[in-house]
Amino acid sequence: MSFGRPPSINVGFKVSPPNRGSFPLDHDGECKEAMMEYMKCLKQNSSTSTPCRVLSKQYLDCRMTKGLMDRDEWKNLGLTNLAGEDPEVKAKVSSRTDSA
Amino acid sequence: MLRTAILGLPRQCQCGTSFTQFTTRRALTFSAHLPPSPPRRPHVRLQHSPSAAGAGPSQSARARAAGYEAARQKMHSQRNRSLVMYSSAAIVFALGMTYAAVPLYRMFCAATGFAGTPQVGKGKFSADRLVPVDDARRITVHFNADRSEALPWKFSPQQKFVNVLPGETSLAFYRARNNSRQDIIGIATYNVTPDRIAPYFSKVECFCFEEQKLLAGEEVDMPLLFFIDKDFVDDPACRDIDDVVLSYTFFRARRDRNGNLEPDAEEDVVQKSLGFDKFEHAPKK
């Protein structure tokens, strides 16, 4: 049971896990390159998130591949139909998602 | 026989007690000396003492007066008894409500996101809610990081802020470094300000509320995936919100009585990190 929310009748009386839980720690830095690319993109775009969503999708895909995140469909994460997405990348990434 | 049978009848209700008590005594005697009912409540019959049946008029008058007095006192005592019952019930109820107020307040906060309470729930994360509203105003989400002094970590956000659209899931990173020579388990809480955005600020996945073990000298990047619900644009109270501050606090973890991990800090410090420092009903559990 994870604590954290101020206790209410739901939290105190019923044990329920958080929605998707917590990201496992990336101890070995396996997805660090994807993260650095995303941060670089943010700096270039004055911290606007929309142009960098493709990179965030790649980062999450890296996490899913390396077992640092439960694989899930992109629409459940809100990362479908991204502007500026390379169709090849999209096909590669979505095929991995479908096969899971 | 009949009289005992009548006397043995159970008394039905309190206000009728005096009635049955008095009527049974005289049930079988139809004396012409029945006293006239005094101008009082109609359901109260007065006792006619049996000993007065054969006595003189003055004695019967005195007995009658005594009977009236006794009946009045009985009625008053019954009324007082019921009054005491009702008022003690009201006191107990009020006392119970003051105890119930704390968990009820927590329920209210969890349901409405009052005071920056984070919202966790499956219905909010359905796929159709995670679509960006392209023509809406951008919101700047600032990131803040705190840690307790007992935790020898360096904890900081990797970006100062991110400009997001409502409904758009965005990724952000924090970095934590364990500067000590032991493996330490940390646990984080977070809070969102201003309070009125809390019902709309949802996190898909983060690094909070569960233990995070850092080995000695290790540095990790902690991501978090969040979005601002698109109903935010329809809320008139949130019309003027352009900046949101998301604040994380890392504590050292310890095991509580049940073996669960909890922050190793004073209660008020933890509640402050959750945004409950300004409210008097702070203490949890």
User: ipTM value of the model?
Assistant: 0.73
Choose among B163, B173, B212: nearest Cβ to A39.
B173
- Angle at which helix B14-25 crosses helix B57-112, to 10 degrees, equals 160
Mutation target vs B (from A10, A31, A47, A70; most B CBs, 10 A cutoff): A47
Which residues on adjacent β-strands are paired with residue B143?
Answer: B246
From residue B29, how far is each of B3, B178, B216 by CA, in Å?
Answer: 11, 100, 101
pLDDT in tens, A85-99: 655 555 555 555 554
A56 and chain B in contact, CB less than 8 A: yes
pLDDT in tens, B242-257: 899 999 988 888 877 7
Choose among B165, B190, B205: nearest Cβ to A50.
B165
Domain boundaries, chain B: 115-274
From residue A38, how far is each of A58, A60, B76, B133 by CA, in Å?
Answer: 9, 11, 83, 22
What pLDDT sits at residue B218? 86
The answer to whether the CB atoms of A9 and B205 lie below 8 A apart is no
Domain boundaries, chain A: 32-98
The answer to whether the CB atoms of B204 and A19 lie below 8 A apart is yes
**Which residues of chain A are within 8 Å of residue B206 when distances are taken between CB atoms?**
22-23
B115-274, superfamily in CATH? Ctag/Cox11 (2.60.370.10)
- pTM of the predicted model as reported, rounded to 2 decimal places: 0.59
From the CB of residue B163, how many other CB atoms can be counted at a distance below 10 Å? 17
Choose among B125, B171, B227: nearest Cβ to A38.
B171
pLDDT in tens, A40-74: 999 999 988 888 889 998 998 898 888 888 888 88
